[in-house]
Amino acid sequence: MVAASLMPTGEASAVPPRLVPSAVTLDHYRALFARLHLTRALLNSAGLATAVTLVSLFLNSMAGYGFAKFRFAGRDRLFRVLLGALVIPAQVAMLPLFLILRALGAIDTYWAVVVPGMASVFGIFLVRQYALGIPDSVLDAARVDGAGEFRIYRSLVLFLCAPVLITLAVFTFMGTWNDFMWPLIVLADDRLYTLPVALANLAGEHVQDTELMMAGAVLTVLPVMLLFVFLQRYYVAGIMSGGVKE
């Protein structure tokens, strides 16, 4: 994919195909930004993925911590109901969610992309499993010292849950960045398009320009790949400690 994006026009479709470009060129990357104006789509994807990740971390961490450490009527039953929702395909909820957002006037706005990703059952489950390992004595000591519940959450729980929160951030950012179907459904204004949707439209217009398509694919994959590489250590630690209990 990277090699094809650096080839001169037409070389990627040559027979027999080449594995290495005869001459390295960045013209296709320049065309994406200068001629095809993908800068806005790139910024849309980055902004939406960041917003969804931050809001999701806040809501999922509070819910997961609540299910792990607070006792209230129906807690375990409610949690089992949430886990049962994991078996429901996301596509089943798309039509009801679309109708709700349309009734609220949120279709064809950034909110239509942000709201569905603000919380997830998987995120709540992941944080809960990790938070179960926090000793109750640590939280009780903070309460004895006069700390309120939100201060305990903000100053203590978030710090102790950092590995699993980083893991959740990677999952959420990658999922939002790569999401194609939902933004395609709710966004009609091309100024609001995310990068996958913009590239899909581009593919329809430039179906024969293989090198240009490969350059767009590289731009889509590169940010999430770099994010995963830099946070891999925390990602693995969060998965192991959140999913494996003695």
**What is the tens place of the pLDDT at every residue in 1-48?**
888 888 887 777 777 777 788 888 888 888 888 776 788 999 999 999
In this predicted model, what pLDDT tens digit does every residue of 158-186 receive, in sequence order?
Answer: 999 988 998 899 889 999 999 999 999 99
Looking at residue 231, its pLDDT comes to 74
- pTM given for the model: 0.84
Residue 220 has a pLDDT of 86
- Can you tell me the distance from the alpha carbon of 185 to that of 53, in angstroms, rounded to the nearest whole number? 21
Residue 84: pLDDT over 70 = yes
Domains of the chain by start residue, with CATH? 2-243 (1.10.3720.10)
Distance CA 182, CA 93 (A): 11
Helices 195-205, 39-69: crossing angle, 10 deg rounding: 140
Q: What is the pLDDT of residue 181?
A: 92
- Rounded-to-integer distance, Cα 7 and Cα 22, Å: 7
> How confident is the model over 93-148, as pLDDT tens digits?
899 999 999 999 999 999 999 999 998 999 999 999 999 989 999 999 999 988 89
pLDDT, residue 101, reads 94
Residue with tokens 């891999």: 232
pLDDT at position 246: 44
Each residue of 175-195: b (16+ CB within 10 Å) or e?
A: bbbebeebbebbbeeeebbbb
- Pick from 27-36, 188-197, 203-212: least confident: 203-212
Mean pLDDT for 76-99 is 90
**Once rounded to an integer, what is the mean pLDDT over residues 70-80?**
91
Residue carrying the six token digits 């039509």: 95
Residue of 55, 67, 53 lying closest to 130 (CA atoms): 67
Q: Give CA–CA dist 70/134, Å, rounded.
A: 13
Structure tokens of 148? 């309120």
User: What's 145's DSSP letter?
Assistant: T
